Amino acid sequence: MLNDNKVLPFEKGLRWTNVYFIGIGGIGMSALARYFVANGKVVAGYDKTPSEITDSLTVLGIEIHFEDAIKNITETFLNAENTLVIYTPAIPKNHAEFNYFKNNNYHILKRSQVLGLITENTFCLAVAGTHGKTTTTSILGHLLHECHVPLTAFLGGICENYNSNLILNGTEVSVVEADEFDRSFLTLSPNLACITSMDADHLDIYGDASELIKSFEDFSKRVKPNGKLFVRNGLPIKGITYGIEDGSDYSAQNIKIENGTYVFDVKTPKTVLENLQFNLPGRHNLSNALIALAMAVEYGCPYRQLAKALASFKGVKRRFTYHIKTNDFVFIDDYAHHPEEINAVHQAVREMYPNKKVLAIFQPHLFSRTRDFIDDFAKSLSQFDEVLLLDIYPARELPIEGVTSRWLLSKISNKNKQLITKQQLLQKIHDSEAQIVLTIGAGDIGEEVKHIKKEFSLEN
């Protein structure tokens, strides 16, 4: 714990001793919950279902319940003067607890608003982009932590090095994901920021791609007057450029793979850093490492410490995570839920295992995303040797007529394809001749990982 009941800078004369979360089990919400516990606040909350995340929060002493009922709010949080309520926009409008807090004049803020307030009085490094945010933020947080920077990093995934979505080493510097979903990144005012990608996504929110691009342009204007913006080479926004084997301001050069590890040089505006090592597979991850390194260099971290820190980064759970890795059988799980992310996973697996047969098991995420990118999904999935499709995970959406996994299956050009249920999954993997098995998707497919691991670890 950093402080006992510390008055945080953004409280501005208010005295919140208690923080209540509606949707505490979300990856972003739980990082904030950890932050407030570390700063001496009394924390509790509601979530729809128990999970590994809620289990890990209860270990910290956080009371969590899973029934939306006012009777479950403990007496500590029934004082509107000293309780801050934080909610996720994913909750329904008729949520009983949310409406109780609203009707009784509590201080109620969205997660993104709280992040904006926390980072307002810090030196803020923000990572934006439709893909790569979580991995890049995790690498950047790790680099700064290993260089002894007094930081708090809020991550959108569980970083393997810390087994947490919060890296806590002080409060002077903040590292955050700048999330474009519902334009929440416009609450931030970073000193250093980057944009990793601007592919069309979240069209259920934005309507069309031009509105998404406009929001990234608006985000670029949020960078403080003396701050710096980094952009991947080729994006239509001006900034310090970075790229792979090109003429960018920061460029990865002389790339080799040695024993499954990238070995490469980085050309900076001032020098060349030689023989850097990075252990995550795939050019997309190499790009993520490059921009994290560039931001850490511009922050002022020493080159030698950065090189050592980069080599020690272990990855993020559900981002090309190895669960079984033998000579005969490899099982990898990844969060990819957009065609470009699936393409990146395919590139990585082909680079690491060029002559092996690959089975991809994909659970589409959201009806609207499946509809908006149906042809691109079909094209990206057709690249694998064999494809198993699960039904669409609805998340926050109701079904859309005609938008089904069977429709997606009909568009996949690869003949080795099937639509299956979760109950059939283990047997279908047994039936396959593939040496490499991938589970892909952002829904509850992650819950199947432990079953697959248990079943096939016994055989290898």
167: helix, strand or coil: strand
Element holding 171 (H helix, E strand):
none
Tell me 180's DSSP state: -
What is the maximal distance between C-alpha atoms in the chain? 65
Q: Please tell me the predicted confidence (pLDDT) of residue 396.
A: 77
Contacts of 372 (CB under 8 A, 6+ apart): 200, 203, 204
Domains within the chain, CATH numbers bracketed: 9-109 (3.40.50.720), 122-311 (3.40.1190.10), 321-457 (3.90.190.20)
- Which residue in 132, 110, 123, 246 sits closest to 174, CA to CA? 123
The predicted structure's pLDDT at residue 185: 86
pLDDT at 460 over 70: no
Distance of CA 207 to CAs 144, 261, 346, 372, Å?
37, 41, 29, 10
Q: Enter the tokens of residue 405.
A: 């996994």
What does the pLDDT read at residue 411? 98
Q: What is the pLDDT of residue 446?
A: 85
User: Do 96 and 162 contact (CB within 8 A), yes or no?
Assistant: no
- pLDDT higher at 342 or 52: 342
User: In this structure, are strands 250-258 and 261-267 parallel, antiparallel, or unpaired?
Assistant: antiparallel
- pLDDT at residue number 12: 64
Confidence at residue 202, expressed as pLDDT on a 0 to 100 scale:
47
In the chain, pLDDT over 90 holds for what percent of residues? 80
Please say whether the beta carbons of 235 and 260 come within 8 A.
no
pTM: 0.87
- Is the separation of the CB atoms in 301 and 285 below 8 Å? no
Query: Where residue 263 falls among pLDDT bands split at 50, 70, 90?
Result: very high
**Average pLDDT score, the chain:** 92
Retrieve residue 164's tokens: 């947490």
Nearest residue to 281 (alpha-carbon basis) of 326, 332, 237: 332
Q: How far is CA 121 from CA 1, 44, 49, 174, in A?
A: 20, 25, 34, 9
How many whole angstroms separate alpha carbon 341 and alpha carbon 227?
Answer: 30
The pLDDT, as a whole number, for residue 448 is 94
Per-residue pLDDT tens over the stretch 161-202? 999 999 999 999 999 999 876 777 898 999 999 999 987 654
Integer angstrom CA distances of residue 32 from 28, 57, 141, 210, 217? 7, 11, 16, 32, 27
Cα separation, 233 vs 238, whole angstroms: 9
Rg (CA), the chain: 22
Write down the number of H helices and E strands in the chain. Answer: 15, 21
Pairwise CA distance, residues 334 & 281, whole Å: 12
Structure confidence at residue 160 as a pLDDT band (50, 70, 90): very high
In sign, the C-alpha dihedral spanning 361, 366, 368, 369 is negative
Give me the DSSP letters along 65-115. E-S--GGGS-GGG--TTSEEEEE-TTS-TT-HHHHHHHHTT-EEEEHHHHH
Question: Which of 278, 213, 200, 286 is CA-nearest to residue 243?
Answer: 286
Average pLDDT value for residue range 131-152? 96
Residues 6+ apart with CB under 8 A from 40: 1, 2, 3, 4, 5, 6
Distance between CA atoms of residues 155 and 283, nearest Å? 21
pLDDT given for residue 290 in this prediction: 98
CB atoms within 10 A of CB 322: 11
Q: At residue 427, does pLDDT exceed 60? A: yes
Half-sphere exposure of 140 (CA within 13 A, CB side): 37
